[in-house]
Amino acid sequence: MTMRELLQGKTDCTCGKAHPCPIESVVIGKDAFDALGRLAKGYSHILLVADTNTYAVAGDKTVAALGDRVERKQIFRRQGLLIPNEEAIAEIEASLTEQTDLIVGVGSGVINDLCKHVSFKHSLPYFIVATAPSMDGYASVGAALLLDGLKVTLNAAVPRAILADTAVLANAPVEVIQAGYGDIIGKYSCLNDWRLAALVNGEYICDFVVSETYAQVEKTVALAEGIKARSPEAIGALMEALVAVGILMAYVGNSRPASGSEHHLSHYFEIVGILRNEPYLSHGIDVCHSAVLTAALRHGLAALESIDGLTSHHNPSVYQEDIRRIYGAIAEEIFALQDKLGWYRADRVSLYKEKWQDIRALLADSPTAEEMRALCARVGLSHEDFLAFYDEGKRRDSLLYAKDLKDRYSVLWLHYDLFSKKA
């Protein structure tokens, strides 16, 4: 489907659900700033939100397009990364006035999530002026935040308008362009997880959304060389794919089309890095490399002709010790989440045995780890560098316990159920 078609929504889906799209406008191209002034014509008390880096890239052009309708600016000045936590949310809220009628974010992932959350909380519309093709959350309904030290995705509203100047996008740092590509490539992993959850847990799935998401992935793969070369046309197409996937998430009301085990691993590396004051890679780059790890899990499991002799390896005492060792200060929140879900009390191994041949076939219907490595390399990402960045122990822990950060079934649960440590 074209962007125009996606924005119109889909009312006749074979999954039985209507898929409305509340986003009014998406403008990706050389005329994005011209369109911004026109789209914001009905607003007169605008709060502009950016950080020092994103403002330097597109802040002046945004203000020039909006004129004196910009009532206030909230520009984050941080040493190091801006974290989407309670402090940052409070700073935006302190900049709101009783007259504020629109929030305009200038930035990418963190700025978008913060504006999305605050606009939803205060029933205000928001626009996002994208500064990098770095992630697929521009059009999604979820806001990824770090609250009480835990990575959470809260329901929020989508932006009224998404605007992206391709000249700005093409000049973004190479690592954020790679991150956007990586976020799209990770869909090979999450779509297989979604299908696995439907097979194992009977979870709702929309074949149309799965097919459309795959189409965006294939389009992006075909453009890899142009993306690496920073071709404005290829970068614009990457941005369209990122926005399209966000719209497809909005279609189903959650992030299933775009986030699975590979995202859980990425969140693990980020949260553990923050907790331990250790470095971590950007989200999309972690997603791309993590999809290599999950591909290896899938094909390793698919190679098992039978699991008749296996039983659940879950050991509560080992599990609790490991969670406390890995997550420290937020261990109790993780215990509470998993206790609420009750998944550790379920007997999935018996179900796996009943459906094992179907599970094997599904797992095998995905790229291999070698194929995923090659996809990373097409935009200059070295998987060997990733393996050197995160040591073997951290990667091993991630494959067992990244799943505990979320309330979503994936291949990580299948791997844990069959191969976690007994003692």
pLDDT tens for each residue of 328-357: 999 999 999 999 999 999 999 999 999 999
Q: In terms of pLDDT, which residue wins out, 371 or 310?
A: 371
pLDDT tens for each residue of 27-73: 999 889 999 999 999 999 999 999 999 999 999 999 999 999 999 99
Mean of pLDDT values over 389-399: 97
Mean of pLDDT values over 215-242: 96
Per-residue pLDDT at 19 exceeds 50: yes
Q: What was the pLDDT predicted at 152?
A: 84
Q: What was the pLDDT predicted at 311?
A: 87
Q: What was the pLDDT predicted at 263?
A: 96
Q: What was the pLDDT predicted at 423?
A: 47
Closest C-alpha among 417, 249, 237 to residue 344: 417
Q: What was the pLDDT predicted at 359?
A: 98
- Whole-number average pLDDT of the chain: 94
67: region left, alpha or beta (phi > 0 left; psi from -120 to 50 alpha) = left
Per-residue pLDDT at 399 exceeds 80: yes
**Surface-to-core class of residue 75, CB atoms within 10 Å of its CB (0-12 exposed, 13-18 middle, 19+ buried):** middle
**What does residue 153 show for φ and ψ, rounded to 5 degrees?**
-120, 110
> 79-88, 215-224, 262-271: lowest mean pLDDT where?
79-88
Closest C-alpha among 101, 159, 168 to residue 130: 168
Per-residue pLDDT at 150 exceeds 80: no
Q: In terms of pLDDT, which residue wins out, 140 or 94?
A: 94
Contacts of 347 (CB under 8 A, 6+ apart): 312
Q: What was the pLDDT predicted at 104?
A: 98
Closest C-alpha among 190, 179, 288, 177 to residue 235: 177
Q: What was the pLDDT predicted at 157?
A: 84
Per-residue pLDDT at 402 exceeds 60: yes
Q: In terms of pLDDT, which residue wins out, 411 or 155?
A: 411
Per-residue pLDDT at 422 exceeds 70: no
Q: What is the 3-state secondary structure (H, E, C) of the chain?
A: CCHHHHHCCECCCCCCCCECCCCCEEEEECCHHHHHHHHCCCCCCEEEEEEHHHHHHHHHHHHHHHHHHEEEEEEECCCCCCCCCHHHHHHHHHHCCCCCCEEEEEECHHHHHHHHHHHHHCCCCEEEEECCCCCCHHHCCEEEEEECCEEEEEECCCCCEEEEEHHHHHCCCHHHHHHHHHHHHCHHHHHHHHHHHHHHHCCCCCHHHHHHHHHHHHHHHHCHHHHHCCCHHHHHHHHHHHHHHHHHHHHHCCCCCCCCHHHHHHHHHHHHHHHHCCCCCCHHHHHHHHHHHHHHHHHHHHCCCCCCCCCCCCCHHHHHHHHHHHHHHHHHHHHHHHHHHCHHHCCHHHHHHHCHHHHHHHHHCCCCHHHHHHHHHCCCCCHHHHHHHCCHHHHHHHHHHHHHHCCCCCHHHHHHHHHCCCC
Q: What was the pLDDT predicted at 15?
A: 96
Q: What was the pLDDT predicted at 194?
A: 98
Residue pair 89/155 in contact by the 8 Å Cβ criterion: no
d(CA 155, CA 291): 25
pLDDT tens for each residue of 284-334: 999 999 999 999 999 999 999 999 988 888 899 999 999 999 999 999 999
Mean of pLDDT values over 144-151: 84
